[in-house]
C-alpha cells in the first residue's frame, strides 16, 4: 500500500529533477540568446552577442558556427578550419 509519505517523496523528486535539468541545461549550453554559439565564445571574439551562427564576420567562407566548432578565430580570415581530408593537423 502506498502511503502519503511515498507520494510526497515522489513529488519532491520530480520537482528536484525538473529544477536540476532546467538549471544544468542553461549552464551546460551557456547560450542565452540561443544562436548555437557559446556566449563566452561570442564575448571573447566579438565583445557582444550580436553575431549569428550563420554569419561570416571575417569573410573567410566559414560561418561563425563552423569556426566555433573547429576552434578557429571567427575574426581572423587567415585563421579558419582546415578542409576535411587535407591530411593536415593543427
- What are the residues binding Ca ion (CB under 5 A)? 31, 33, 35, 37, 39, 56, 58, 60, 62, 79-80
DSSP state string for 9-62 = HHHHHHHHHHHHHHHHHHHHH--TT-SSS-HHHHHHHHSSS---TT--TT-SSS
Instruction: Name which of 39 and 69 has its Cβ closer to Ca ion.
Output: 39
C-alpha cell at 44: 571573447
Instruction: Name which of 23 and 30 has its Cβ closer to Ca ion.
Output: 30
Q: Report, in Å, the least distance between residue 23 CB and Ca ion.
A: 18
Q: Report, in Å, the least distance between residue 68 CB and Ca ion.
A: 10
Amino acid at each position: 500500500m502506498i502511503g502519503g509519505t511515498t507520494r510526497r517523496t515522489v513529488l519532491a523528486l520530480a520537482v528536484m529533477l525538473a529544477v536540476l535539468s532546467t538549471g544544468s541545461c542553461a549552464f551546460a549550453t551557456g547560450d542565452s540568446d540561443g544562436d548555437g554559439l557559446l556566449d563566452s565564445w561570442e564575448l571573447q571574439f566579438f565583445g557582444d552577442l550580436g553575431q549569428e551562427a550563420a554569419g561570416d564576420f571575417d569573410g573567410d567562407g566559414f560561418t561563425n558556427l563552423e569556426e566555433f566548432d573547429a576552434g578557429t578565430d571567427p575574426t581572423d580570415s587567415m585563421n579558419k578550419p582546415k578542409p576535411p581530408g587535407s591530411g593536415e593537423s593543427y
